[in-house]
Amino acid sequence: MNNFIHWFSEDYWTSIDAVITIGTLFGVWYNYKEDKKKQKLENEDITIKLKVLEIDKIINIEPPIVRKFFSRSEFQGVLGNQLIKGVTRYDIDYLNTQDYYNQLKEIQTDDKQELIIDIKNDEIAQFTDIIFEKIDIRKDKIDQKIIKNIETFIGEKTDFSKKLNENTKKKVEAIKNDLYKTNI
């Protein structure tokens, strides 16, 4: 016992104390750096994009979602806000694929910055306003098939003119007129 007490009274304690202090300082510094890195990742914006397969165009959906708040339900809420008036629920086949779930997992594990959703031709009509707001109807390949799908979808629900915003109505009519002229 006397040797044990003697050990603390000599120069040994100051050497051990210095090693412990330096080790603790390094540990605190490392945790600080990791916490800053984690906070930066958590506050990154995750962009949501619709890939319209028919016209090979990617459309950004606003607003982006902060990674720490990103969840399947948050994403679906943002997507639901992009629907045309009167449509209460969207129907996208891609949301039932393994690729979609893999993208969600990659976002949640900090490996991905964006979520890209494939929209098929028959699914475009649900998002007519946002799609027509973000594309150039003269440059992009808008064909009769897309217009027909939009008219069919909207016509099934209620009056076409009440569903779309004014800019979209003008674009749809311009496309229909151009297509009609080229088919004559």
pLDDT in tens, 139-156: 556 666 666 777 676 665
Is-contact 68 42, C-beta < 8 A?
yes
With 0.85 as the threshold, say if the pTM is over it.
no
pLDDT at 59 over 90: no
For range 60-66, the mean pLDDT: 87
Res. 1: pLDDT tops 50: yes
Return d(Cα 113, Cα 44) in angstroms, integer.
Answer: 8
Banded pLDDT at 183 (limits 50, 70, 90): very low
Report the DSSP pairing between strands 45-52 and 114-119: parallel
Can you tell me the distance from the alpha carbon of 121 to that of 87, in angstroms, rounded to the nearest whole number? 17
Q: Is 61 helix (H, G, I), strand (E, B) or coil?
A: strand
Q: Which DSSP string do the residues of 5-25 spell out, in sequence order?
A: HHHHHSTHHHHHHHHHHHHHH
pLDDT band at 36 (very low <50, low <70, confident <90, very high): very high
